[in-house]
Structure 1
Amino acid sequence: MKVVLAGYNVDAGILSRSREREGEGVTPEVLSAAYARISRDPRSAGSLRAEALREVEKARRSNERIVFGLGHASVAEHAVLNFDVTGISRFAVEEIERFRLASFTEKSQRYIRLGRDLVVPPEMRDARAEKPFRALAAGLHEGYEEVFRRLSAAGIEAGRAKEDARYLMPLATATQFGMTMNARELEYAIMRLAAHPLGELRSLSRSLYRAAKSVVPSLIRHPDPTEHWRDVEGARREIASIAPARAGARRTGRLVELSAATPDAERLLASRLLFSATRRPARECERAVRALSAKSVRRIIRTSMRRMGPHDAAWREFECVDLVFDLVVSASCYAQLKRHRMATILPQAYDLSLGVSVPETLKAGAAVSILRSATADAARFFRAHERTLGAAAQYALTNAHRRRVLFACSLRDLYHFSRLRSDMSAQWEIRELSNEMCRIAEREMPAAASLLAGKDGFAGRKKAFEAEK
């Protein structure tokens, strides 16, 4: 066996200087072109890379033929690009970070004292709502500063004071993030963002396309959305009209509800574990497990977990059982929830009827009234401008405002989620959310979910696990 490091991320400034010396070969396209030929060319990968470096235009033609002519789009995944994205709103970030096959690191509002940097979306300017919007944002920032002062005066630790004061900040607050994407996912993101109803995201699509096209022209060919994606908003409106809400429909008011779960999940999981441990067909494994006692089913599941530590993932068989949660979360909470992109996350628009999330520290700091006043001001602006601004009216809402989110995940995903979000280091709102999701999962799958916990609570859970027989 031989392993050769063929490439790695390098700062664009260094690459630009290298291009002046080396020419057009300084492009990730050569890796895509070389690797595309591995399946049909007997030469070594190193030889194929060397040829692609010597003949870049030929490599580009090869990419276009293989990726777009023959449809082997996975070849484009070998080209990876990094982007600094600055001056973008928190609201827009919620959308861009929904793309699964990418890496994002965002400026944290938990740890950084926030300034007055604001993104005024084009819809506000077009509707002549910019002046009242800026006035609202200024008032929200003043409220943020006052809440921070009161929490600090009440002895709340500075980090927690910043974390909870941010609930007053608008979704239009400017932020920045670093993004890494392969060319295939990037083309998809550019296309999807180009069809988005928010002007800020359509502008981002154009900027990403211009930046990428200059470096990987052979791999970004279709930036325009298809009719299928242009129709999303219209189709959703029609879907909503087919089954209109009933007047007086009763809702529980709970923030976490189980919408669906795999029936007889533990027997199914045990059958999948048996499948991987044998050479028997899946149906035969299912029949065998159905014939077992509940104690034997638990034994199969617990055997797969007996050496699990706080940093270990559950076995892949745990992906065969699923849970679907109906969640009500604030924008602050959603900012963290959205990062778990292996789950299926379906967010609704922000909904004033769901109220706002109020940190407990604001009660200790006598600051609840400031939050209530600030969120009421934001809600008034939203109601006054929703008809003319559409989805862009949500820029005026705060981190405290809530939305409903459907969160579908496998039990394996939930193990990962719980290690991060049930830990004491997690932000308080998502920690409470995670704890309730884990409680529900354990009710549905008591053996399989018995080690759900944050890293700090894992030792206690493992001790109880080992004490059971």
Structure 2
Amino acid sequence: MTTVGSQRRVIAVAPMPPEKSAYALARYSRSPDSIEDSIRWVHAHSSERFWEQFYFDYGHASIADLGHVIVCFEHISELAAIRLEDEPLWDGQAKSSRYQNFASSTWYVPDSIRGTETEGIYQGILRSLANVYRTLHEPLTRFLSEREPRPESMTPAQYQRTIAARAFDVTRYLLPLAACTNVGQVVSIRTLEKQMTRLLSSPLPELRAIGEELKEACLRPPVNLWNELAGQAAGPAEPLAPTLARHAKASAYQAEVYRDLARHAREVLKGTGLDQPDSVRAPNRLRKQDDPVDLIEPHHPLDELVATLLYRVTQAPYRHILAVVREWTEKQKRDTIEVALRKRGPYDELVKEFRSGYAFVFDILMDIGGWRDLHRHRRCQQVQQNFTTVHGYDIPPALVQAGLERDYRDAMDAVKADIERLRETSQEAALYAIPFGFRVRCLFKMDFAEAEYIAKLRSGVKGHWSYRTVAWSMKRKLAERYPMLGDLVQATPPDVEDTLTR
């Protein structure tokens, strides 16, 4: 009699084209064959017919989780990078503005303004930001070096890299969303399909163009440089994910739902003050008593859903919207939900604002640069309002301590005025010109495990001062409302610093 232990095998399988590997693993789960026999079967049969039948016709979506791809996006805007990362199941990283010098970076120019007078205004805004970015870096680096001399435990090279990174932490507040960057991602082809649909449905031309180029990349064989460098003979060149690419298309629902909600929000919030951007303007500098984090008290799921839908398309605080929604009749609430569902097709997923019911809801107002790091957290639901200048900008403490605050404020005030004028001729260009120092409002919904993780990780001394402040505030808000849970969160106060720790 053969025992189970003697039959056990653990097998690592070499990379395969993602549609083929997904087919092989799907068949493997549905037959008694070994993985080798399943791969042989797939090699002898058409994976295209399999995908057409089971994935696209029968809707067996989980099959696409079994094939993964590495895709890199080069020379795209920071705004595009943010939107690429808007997937809950996403693994990747963008070029870091904290550790790299963006002084020589180029920036994205919308096709709609090329060759026009508006392009000259736009380029002027970006050049002025780049000039101040370069100008402030040297005196800031000198100040940090004088304040934190090199310890004997650090080599000069390590010390210079660390000080430079701390300086970039500050000067990146002058980087616009138009700054060009690179993104590398490893995703399942199921996530890839969703990403392509989102990009192709975007109102921004750059994102639609990236979506089309992503489709084209899936129709071509992938770059196989590693095997070439290793001296391995290349096999037959197969397209990356051709069946998926042929079926990827824009979603009318995704393309129109937020525009419809924005129009609806203006109507139903008229007279409340929440439909006017001026009503949510903030001073350019946060006062000490101001808190960037608001932990919302538990409330009815219906009210949460309606308030979240409206929050997404306004610039108002969640708490203020919720107060209005709570006074509505059930019909008024149902009308808002109906707007969000009206154009949904049979294969369209609900937009992410429907992901409600989390116990901890934080409304966070913080600078775009610091928010970029919090945006990387996947075990929570994020509902971000549109980028704007109406909430003012943050001023890094190091600039104040180094005596450089006036230069920074003058630059940001001038850029803010220029962006408002630019908006009169091009909303698109005005969006890309917004620097990282301006604030964005975002709703973070999560369970306790994620709240504990973010508060602990992001409050650490290695972190950026902005998200450290937010993480510590999350811990404090939890402790105020739920003392026992708050005591479980081991967060670090932002006044505990170690500039030379990375």
Where do 1:117-156 residues align within 5 Å?
Answer: 117-125=106-114, 128-156=117-145
CA contact (8 A) 2:388 2:431 kept: no
Q: What residue number does 1:171 align with? A: 177
Q: What residue number does 1:6 align with? A: 13
Alignment-mate amino acid for residue 201 of structure 1: L
Deviations 1:80-137 (A, max 9, x none): 1111211011122121111121211111111112224211122332764222211211
The match for 1:234 among 259, 272, 281 is 259
Q: Matched residue of 1:236: which SS?
A: helix
Deviations 1:148-188 (A, max 9, x none): 12212323433211210111121211111211111111111
Distance between the aligned counterparts of 1:353 and 1:27, measured in 2? 47
CA contact (8 A) 1:256 1:326 kept: yes
CA contact (8 A) 1:423 1:431 kept: yes
Q: What residue number does 1:286 align with? A: none
Is 2:35 the partner of 1:45? Answer: yes
Q: What residue number does 1:59 align with? A: 47
CA contact (8 A) 2:281 2:392 kept: no
Distance between the aligned counterparts of 1:419 and 1:327, measured in 2? 17
Residue 259 of structure 1: how far off its partner (Å): 2.1
Q: What residue number does 2:191 align with? A: 185
Q: TM-score, normalised by structure 2?
A: 0.71
Is 2:245 the partner of 1:244? Answer: no
CA contact (8 A) 2:19 2:47 kept: yes
CA contact (8 A) 1:30 1:59 kept: yes
Distance between the aligned counterparts of 1:251 and 1:194, measured in 2? 33
Residue 262 of structure 1: how far off its partner (Å): 7.5
Structure 1 pair 383–429 and aligned structure 2 pair: CA distance change class (3 A): same
The match for 2:65 among 74, 77, 82 is 77
Residue 254 of structure 1: how far off its partner (Å): 3.5
CA contact (8 A) 1:438 1:449 kept: yes
Q: What residue number does 1:372 align with? A: 409
Distance between the aligned counterparts of 2:247 and 2:486, measured in 1? 44
Distance between the aligned counterparts of 2:485 and 2:120, measured in 1? 55
Q: What residue number does 2:22 align with? A: 32
Q: What residue number does 1:404 align with? A: 441
CA contact (8 A) 1:331 1:401 kept: yes
Structure 1 pair 91–390 and aligned structure 2 pair: CA distance change class (3 A): same
Alignment-mate amino acid for residue 137 of structure 1: L
Alignment-mate amino acid for residue 204 of structure 2: L
The match for 1:340 among 361, 374, 377 is 377
Alignment-mate amino acid for residue 31 of structure 2: D
Q: What residue number does 1:101 align with? A: 89
Alignment-mate amino acid for residue 196 of structure 1: S
Residue 250 of structure 1: how far off its partner (Å): 8.2
Q: Matched residue of 1:87: which SS?
A: strand
Q: What residue number does 1:202 align with? A: 208
Distance between the aligned counterparts of 2:24 and 2:488, measured in 1? 45
Distance between the aligned counterparts of 2:371 and 2:296, measured in 1? 19
Deviations 1:338-384 (A, max 9, x none): 10122111111233231111011101222112211221222122211
CA contact (8 A) 2:107 2:179 kept: yes
Residue 447 of structure 1: how far off its partner (Å): 1.7
Structure 1 pair 3–245 and aligned structure 2 pair: CA distance change class (3 A): farther
Q: What residue number does 2:292 align with? A: 255
Q: What residue number does 2:400 align with? A: 363
Residue 260 of structure 1: how far off its partner (Å): 3.3
Distance between the aligned counterparts of 1:193 and 1:249, measured in 2? 32
Q: TM-score, normalised by structure 1?
A: 0.76
Q: Matched residue of 1:352: which SS?
A: coil
Q: What residue number does 1:434 align with? A: 471
CA contact (8 A) 1:422 1:435 kept: yes
The match for 1:329 among 363, 366, 378 is 366
Residue 246 of structure 1: how far off its partner (Å): 2.8
RMSD: 2.5
Is 2:99 the partner of 1:111? Answer: yes
Q: What residue number does 1:289 align with? A: none
5+ long unaligned stretches in structure 2: 1-7, 146-162, 221-239, 283-289, 301-355, 495-502
Structure 1 pair 45–141 and aligned structure 2 pair: CA distance change class (3 A): same
Alignment-mate amino acid for residue 118 of structure 1: W
5+ long unaligned stretches in structure 1: 9-25, 264-318, 458-469
Q: What residue number does 1:416 align with? A: 453
Alignment-mate amino acid for residue 464 of structure 2: Q
Structure 1 pair 206–64 and aligned structure 2 pair: CA distance change class (3 A): same
Between the two proteins, the alignment pairs up a number of residues equal to 383
Distance between the aligned counterparts of 2:116 and 2:87, measured in 1? 30
Structure 1 pair 89–38 and aligned structure 2 pair: CA distance change class (3 A): same
Distance between the aligned counterparts of 1:401 and 1:436, measured in 2? 20
Residue 209 of structure 1: how far off its partner (Å): 0.9
Residue 38 of structure 1: how far off its partner (Å): 3.2
Distance between the aligned counterparts of 2:484 and 2:468, measured in 1? 22
Q: Matched residue of 2:445: which SS?
A: strand
CA contact (8 A) 1:143 1:374 kept: yes
Structure 1 pair 451–168 and aligned structure 2 pair: CA distance change class (3 A): same
Distance between the aligned counterparts of 2:208 and 2:361, measured in 1? 31
Distance between the aligned counterparts of 1:75 and 1:321, measured in 2? 28
CA contact (8 A) 2:295 2:363 kept: yes
**Taking every aligned residue pair, what percent have the same amino acid on both sides?**
25
Distance between the aligned counterparts of 1:204 and 1:243, measured in 2? 35
More deviation in 233-242 or 429-438? 233-242
Alignment-mate amino acid for residue 127 of structure 2: A
Structure 1 pair 60–161 and aligned structure 2 pair: CA distance change class (3 A): same
Q: Matched residue of 1:342: which SS?
A: coil
